[in-house]
Amino acid sequence: MKFYLRIIWTNFWLSFKEGFTNPLSALLFISGKLLRFVFFLLFFFFIFKKVKLIAGYTFNDLLFYYLVFVLVDSISQFLGRGAYFFDSLVINGNLDKTFLYPVNDIFINLFSYLDPLDLITIPFFLTYFLYFIHHSYYWPSLSRLLAFSLSFLLSIAATLAIYLLSMALGLTTPLTGELLWIWRNTSKLGRLPVNIYPRFISYLLFSLLPVGIIINGPVLIWQARIGWWEWFLFTIFEVSFILIAISSWYQALKHYQSASS
């Protein structure tokens, strides 16, 4: 365990020094993420100046959906940033070198680049999330809070599983970036409850592209919009999805042809 923590720290420190070689670029990146966050809050604010409810949701309800999305998205990007560089490893042949390291191949490829700029914004989002709950929203029962915590962690893990699936595709096809960006774009629909969209789109977001389960799932259990049986099915789905992604990676490794071939 200490060995892996040392690798994480080393990678993070190297990424930190690389990220701040150009302070102006780092400042613009952080400012851009914070401004996007603020502008979406203003978007909510101006809409609810005209209406009181949207599809039965109050301003605070929708803001809670958005804050959970931001946290899941930011943390999963911070941890799985290596997936964005995976296709270049395959193309230039450096992927073969990672298989020589005495560490797990998923670990070294998926967590090989921890973006320090993401780590700077995550505490801000988390602080605002806790402040919002304490002052403007409500705390659920202890059982639902524990279920929310588990669902939140599984949502991050399931998002990382999608990154892993994109890497598995990259071992045998040139489609690493495509799946990654399909998910990045469709997951943004989870900033709002997916059941406010037309029924066909909502069905797709709960089945074909499980944004409703992975992104909205923790909020649904917090707000008691689903029962314990539905929460259990969501949990089984996410755990199964994670295991399928890991299995797909190792199956793809069997068909991977090294750079030499």
Per-residue pLDDT tens over the stretch 79-110:
888 888 888 787 777 777 777 777 788 888 88
Which of 150, 173, 152 lies closest to 252, judged by CA?
173
The answer to whether 160 and 76 are in contact (CB under 8 A) is yes
> What integer pLDDT is reported at residue 19 of this predicted model?
61
For residue 261, pLDDT beyond 60:
no
Q: Length of the chain in residues, anyone?
A: 261
Looking at the DSSP bridge assignments, the partners of residue 57 are 54
Position 260 pLDDT exceeds 60: no
C-alpha to C-alpha distance for 221 and 23, rounded to whole angstroms: 41
Q: Render 183-230 in DSSP notation, one character per residue.
A: HHHHHGGGGS-GGGS-HHHHHHHHTTSTHHHHTTHHHHHHTT-S-HHH
Tell me the average pLDDT across 181-191.
Answer: 84
53 CB burial (10 A radius; 0-12, 13-18, 19+): exposed
Query: Could you tell me where the DSSP H helices lie in the chain?
Result: 2-19, 23-48, 59-79, 86-92, 95-98, 105-110, 116-136, 142-172, 176-187, 199-206, 211-214, 217-222, 228-255
Mean pLDDT of the chain: 84
Amino acid at 89: L
Q: Grade residue 64 by pLDDT with cuts at 50, 70 and 90.
A: very high
Does pTM top 0.95 for this prediction?
A: no
Q: What number of CA atoms fall less than 13 Å from residue 174's CA on the CB side?
A: 3
Q: What is the pLDDT of residues 137-149, one digit of tens each?
A: 889 999 999 999 9
Beta bridge partners of 54: 57
Tell which wins on pLDDT, 103 or 237: 237
